[in-house]
Amino acid sequence: MGVDLVLRPNADSSVQLSRSTGSYNYANIDEATKDEGDYNYTPANASNNVYIDKYGLPDHSVLLNGKINSVTIYAYVKVNGSTLNAYLGVNDSYASAHAISSTSYTQISDAWATNPATSAAWTWANVDALVADLKLATGYTSDGKGGYTYYQLYCCQFWVVVNYSQPTVTTSAASSVEVTTATGNGNITNLNGGSNCTVRGFKWDTVSRSNPADYANSSSDSGSYSTGAYTKSITSLPSGTTVYCRAYATNPDGTGYGDEVSFLTKPAAPIGVYAATVFNSLSINWTKSTGATGYRVYRNGSDISGLLGDVATYNDTTADPPTLHAGAAAASDGTYRLYVDLIVDGCYFNNGTTYTYKVVAVNATGNSPDSSEIQGYKTGQLPAGAGIVQTWYRSAGDSDGSYSTIDPTPSFPYPPFTEWYDYMAPSGGHGRYYKALVGYGGIMGYCTTDRGYRPQITSRMPVFFRW
């Protein structure tokens, strides 16, 4: 039993045999299916002699490390006349002659259980250094009258098979992929004549590896394992990262590896989530998660953003705005001879509704866990230096109605509110009603009204001036 590794010539180490086509002898006999084209043959008109070709072979795959059971050379040869000898060898060590009498191509082979150069077990280094030999005899017969008939051997295909024992393993796609964990899926499909495996598991890294020895991490179990599918939790994975993984199993003969597969872990939850607010504006901000391609913002448990792109902020335009308490107008009652003194009392903004926010990162595998929750609202705090806008209105008569504006429109810091003066109010104690449209940033409202008037002037009335 065991597994066969087929090696076909890929170089000429030395050449004695002639050829009919091609630049190199090995190129005429390296095909996987014989073409019987008589490409490689011994020289014509040669006396009794032997000619040798030596062929280089490709190195073995780094995935192979099992016990080598044998090295076997195969060839298809034929003769064009009398029986001739063909020989197969490794590194100048030849097996017994094959007496070839068939004029049709016939397969011959020789196997070496140990390295003939050392009589020790084969190693993979021996296989990589292997030179395969093909030796073909020539001959002739005489007709007794000075004439000769020459015979020669032909070869149309030549290859080497390394039989080795090593578990055969396959790797399936990972499942249950999360932020830092995944489930590896493997299968020991054949023990190839060896004993049960003592270790099975997975090698993994964040870089694709052709050589299993280069993987930085592994996750495995120890025991006695025959053929069959198995799973293993792979932990401590980096979040939002493509992971390269290969199943493996080890028995006393060697370690078998499956093909490499890859998977993408979910991103970690965004960190550093905070609410930034200025008057009537609220943005949710966060630090990006590795491997995330998008984000979702949740308010009170509902997705309000939809799938965002690779951003780190979201402006919640639908959050409730600050609310205005417009206050009450206060108009002077005959206090000042030249004007009615006006002021808004008790005008202020309340913060908007307070909400609970969280952020989730997204990539092709799925969503991250929720970020920590934060509170946020649109603030009623005016920017530094900003003022409440007041547009004052005066009634046309001594009744609460038919208002028109008093120019110009003032803007006062908030707080306090500075007084305004109506110099155009009628004198003689004729009252008027006053109100103000107050607010900031598009949030406006009318304060309550108040009646005020200038006094009727007499000669004994003092005059008050305010500058």
- Tell me the CATH number for domain 271-324+348-376: 2.60.40.10
The reply to whether domains 168-264 and 271-324+348-376 share a CATH topology is yes
Strands (E), 22-82: 40-41, 49-56, 67-79
pLDDT digits (tens, 9 = 90+) for 437-451: 999 999 999 999 999
How many residues are there in the chain? 467
Backbone CA torsion sign across 378, 380, 381, 382? positive
Give the C-alpha separation, 27 to 12, whole Å.
9
Give the C-alpha separation, 57 to 35, whole Å.
20
Question: Is the backbone of residue 272 left (phi > 0), alpha (psi -120 to 50) or beta?
Answer: left
CB atoms within 10 A of CB 282: 23
Listed in sequence order, the residues at least 6 apart from 465 whose beta carbon sits closer than 8 Å to its beta carbon are 338
CA triplet 7, 9, 11: central angle to 5 degrees? 135
- Tell me the CATH number for domain 3-165: 2.60.120
Listed in sequence order, the residues at least 6 apart from 228 whose beta carbon sits closer than 8 Å to its beta carbon are 187, 188
CA atoms within 13 A on the CB side of 438: 29
Which residues are bridge partners to 195 per DSSP? none
Give the distance, in angstroms, between the CA of residue 142 and the centroid of all CA atoms in the same chain.
Answer: 77
Domain-wise residue ranges, the chain: 3-165, 168-264, 271-324+348-376
Give the distance, in angstroms, between the CA of residue 59 and the centroid of all CA atoms in the same chain.
Answer: 33
Q: According to the model, what pLDDT value does residue 465 have?
A: 47
- H or E stretch covering 170: strand 168-175
Task: Give the position of tokens 């028109």.
Answer: 404
8 A C-beta contact, residue 455 and residue 337? yes
Give the distance, in angstroms, between the CA of residue 210 and the centroid of all CA atoms in the same chain.
Answer: 19
Asked: is 168-264 a CATH 2.60.40.10 domain? The reply is: yes
Listed in sequence order, the residues at least 6 apart from 33 whose beta carbon sits closer than 8 Å to its beta carbon are none
In order along its 467 residues, the chain shows pLDDT tens digits of 899 999 999 999 988 887 666 678 898 899 999 888 766 565 555 566 888 999 999 999 999 999 999 999 999 999 988 899 999 999 999 999 999 999 999 999 999 999 999 999 999 999 999 999 999 988 887 777 777 788 888 999 999 999 999 999 999 999 999 999 999 999 999 999 899 999 999 999 999 999 999 999 999 999 999 999 999 999 999 999 999 999 999 999 999 999 999 999 999 999 999 999 999 999 999 999 999 999 999 999 999 999 999 999 999 999 999 999 999 999 999 999 999 999 999 999 999 999 999 999 999 999 999 999 999 999 999 988 888 888 999 999 999 999 999 876 666 655 556 788 999 999 888 999 999 999 999 999 999 999 999 998 765 555 554 44
Give the C-alpha separation, 413 to 390, whole Å.
11
Q: According to the model, what pLDDT value does residue 314 have?
A: 98
Q: According to the model, what pLDDT value does residue 416 have?
A: 56
Give the C-alpha separation, 435 to 402, whole Å.
12
Q: According to the model, what pLDDT value does residue 467 have?
A: 44
